[in-house]
Amino acid sequence: MKSREQEYKEIFIAEALEYFDALNRHLSTLEKTPEDEQILAEVFRLLHNLKANAKAIGYLQISDLSHKLETAFELIRKHELAFSNEVAAVLFDGIDLLGEQITNVDNQDYKIPDENIIRNLDVIINPELAHSTTEVAKVVKVNDRNITLSDLIYIQIKKLDHLLNLVGELIIDRDRIISLSKDLNSEELKAVSSHLYRITEEIQFSVMDARLVNVGSLFNKFPRIVRDIAQAEQKEIQLEIVGQDIQIDRNILQIMTDSLLHLVRNAISHGIEKTAVRLKKNKPPQGTLILSAQSDRDNVLIRLTDDGKGIDVPAVKKAIVARKFLNREAVEDLREAEVLSYLFEPGFSMAKEVTEFSGRGVGLDVVKNAIDSIGGRIQVHSEKDKGTTFTLHLPTSIAVKGALLFEVEGGYYAILLMHTDSVVALDIDELHEVGDMLVANIKDETIPVIYLRDFLNNDTGKMLPGNKSRLNGSVQNTIIVIYNNRRLGLIVDKLYRQQDIVIKPLNKPVDNIDIYGGVTLLGTGKVCLVLDVPAITRYFVTKK
């Protein structure tokens, strides 16, 4: 993986060489039309940008030379320096030297071939000597006019999107060919399919790698944002950023931009107390906000942690009852994580009393919806007077995702690994009927369990009662899924394997069935429906 400095350097060189080519082109035009103000303005802009970029990355020699050239063109633009042949020659020499410096940024032994180039520039930009070009010295030509091209190219993200979609199609066909080679038991076909597997893996990795960007490209925008919000809120906030070098798909980062901004605003406006309040709580006067990223297998975790007052859980419980999501008795049975999950319910966070009670949660359903759209999930942990942490579990890629395959009633289904907490084999005696639900105690947590066969065939609009007599066999294969701090057990008929899948949208008229997130094609040619865990969880919560 490239370091951030290396990546910045490559970007700088690519841009600088483009500027160099453009400067040569414009200067050649100016020789013919020295009064073209539009060209002069463009040359001035290019030199100004090059000067700023070089200074930012520490290439002061390039920055200084750009400054001298910029000054010369500023004098020409103000008609204080004539664009004579001699002046043009000096400027061409300066531009050539600029190109040579750009291509030698890594060469520690590089020295300017002829100091007269710099001296001549000083002569023409010195107001006292501007009209006297007789002192301009003859210089040794800087380069032999070799033509080189940059190692970097710019490419539109939609072209990469199209390429990744084609890779997805290729993966589906690859799996099909591998399956056929096994069915036909052809050694030659097996060898070809094995080679095809390696090639497609490499193509997939290369395309996905081309779409990766550092999280820092988003994180580095927040110091200014935090500063502005903190000033408006009259609070003292210190922002710590960790893990800028972690890489993620550019589209995922783009989708998460507004959500992260929303969480940061919430943390400053409603989470972190003002200085006087913090001092009364024996806290440091300055609040701390930590924005971090880390890799977690195939996922990226982005965390936003504040050391504020935390979320008022009793107040959220009252709001749950007031909004008629649950009755008072049911709310008291909820674990804290389940209570906090209601902050993400549509409409819940818009309630005025929630804002007054908890001071948190406005618009969090929008954040959750954005994360759902890319197959991620969000968790929240909060402690009173210690602070709150939002953890965003994000996939590194949108197009190809890891999934767990299983079978229900002869049909093939998949659930994204992102939403799979664990897989357990439950003895039927470990399932208990509580009211109209089946529950199981897993790792000291009581988790509701649904019989997926009944759930998928349920056309009554109401969940069927939990009844163990409807189950087949003494051991139940159960997938524990997690979404929005809630766990739910799904009993399936048969478990298969984990596999990378390419999810395609459903076509009409089944595209409006919420519980299906899309469809994929297995190597056997079988169609496999991808279950939408967020939709199933929402359905269960509202219908139970």
* Structure tokens belonging to residue 310: 């935390």
| Residues 218 and 204 grouped into a single domain | no
Q: Which residue spans within 315-463 are E strands per DSSP?
A: 377-383, 387-395, 400-408, 411-416, 420-427, 431-434, 437-442, 445-451
pLDDT per residue, tens digit, the chain (544 aa), is 456 677 778 888 888 988 998 998 898 888 888 888 899 999 989 999 999 889 888 899 999 999 999 999 988 888 888 888 888 889 999 999 998 899 888 888 888 888 888 888 888 888 666 555 556 666 666 555 566 666 777 788 888 888 888 888 888 888 888 888 888 888 888 898 899 999 998 998 888 888 888 888 888 888 888 998 898 888 999 999 999 888 888 888 888 888 899 899 889 988 899 999 999 999 999 999 999 999 887 789 999 999 999 988 888 888 888 877 788 888 887 888 888 888 888 766 544 444 333 444 447 888 888 888 888 888 899 999 999 999 999 987 776 788 899 999 889 999 988 889 899 998 888 888 887 788 888 888 888 898 888 888 766 555 555 677 777 888 899 999 988 778 899 999 999 988 888 888 887 777 677 788 888 888 777 889 999 888 888 777 666 5
211, 238, 256 - which closes a domain: 211
The DSSP symbol for 96 reads: H
Residue 370 within a domain: yes
At residue 356, the pLDDT reads 37
Residue 149 within a domain: no
At residue 134, the pLDDT reads 55
Residue 147 within a domain: no
Residue 366 within a domain: yes
Q: Which amino acid is at 290?
A: I
| Residues 166 and 104 grouped into a single domain | no
* Structure tokens belonging to residue 72: 């010369």
Q: How far apart are CA 229 and CA 301, in angstroms?
A: 25
| Residues 418 and 521 grouped into a single domain | yes
At residue 131, the pLDDT reads 53
* Structure tokens belonging to residue 385: 């007077």
Long-range contacts from 126-132, C-beta under 8 angstroms, 24+ separation: 127/80, 130/75, 130/80, 130/81, 131/82
| Residues 471 and 409 grouped into a single domain | yes
| Residues 241 and 366 grouped into a single domain | yes
What residues contact residue 429 under an 8 Å CB cut-off, 6+ apart?
Answer: none
Long-range contacts from 500-503, C-beta under 8 angstroms, 24+ separation: 500/171, 500/400, 500/401, 500/402, 500/403, 501/400, 501/401, 501/402, 501/403, 501/414, 501/528, 501/530, 502/168, 502/169, 502/171, 502/172, 502/399, 502/400, 503/399, 503/401, 503/530
| Residues 476 and 499 grouped into a single domain | yes
* Structure tokens belonging to residue 431: 């399932």
Which residue from 253, 261, 260 is spatially nearest to 217, judged by alpha carbons? Answer: 253
Residue 206: domain span: 157-211
Residue 136 within a domain: no
At residue 224, the pLDDT reads 85
211, 227, 242 - which closes a domain: 211
Q: What CATH number has the domain bearing residue 169?
A: 1.10.287.560
Q: How far apart are CA 401 and CA 389, in angstroms?
A: 26
Q: What angle do CA 311, 316, 319 make, to 5 degrees?
A: 150
Q: How many domains does the chain have?
A: 4
Q: How far apart are CA 263 and CA 370, in angstroms?
A: 13
For 403-412, the pLDDT digits (tens) are: 899 999 889 9
| Residues 122 and 161 grouped into a single domain | no
Say if residues 524 and 179 touch (Cβ distance below 8 Å): yes
| Residues 15 and 92 grouped into a single domain | yes
Q: How far apart are CA 244 and CA 264, in angstroms?
A: 17
350, 378, 395 - which closes a domain: 395
The DSSP symbol for 406 reads: E
Q: What CATH number has the domain bearing residue 32?
A: 1.20.120.160
| Residues 467 and 325 grouped into a single domain | no
DSSP bridge pairs for 411? 408
At residue 361, the pLDDT reads 45
| Residues 427 and 538 grouped into a single domain | yes
Whether omega before 509 lies within 30 degrees of 0, making that bond cis, reads yes
At residue 351, the pLDDT reads 43
What residues contact residue 341 under an 8 Å CB cut-off, 6+ apart?
Answer: 380, 484, 485, 486
At residue 354, the pLDDT reads 42
Which residue from 518, 438, 442 is spatially nearest to 480, judged by alpha carbons? Answer: 442
Residue 379 within a domain: yes
| Residues 206 and 297 grouped into a single domain | no
Residue 13 within a domain: yes
| Residues 68 and 84 grouped into a single domain | yes
DSSP 327-342: -HHHHHTS-HHHHHHG
Q: What is the dihedral of CA 494, 452, 348, 357, to 10 degrees?
A: -70
Say if residues 445 and 452 touch (Cβ distance below 8 Å): no
Residue 146 within a domain: no
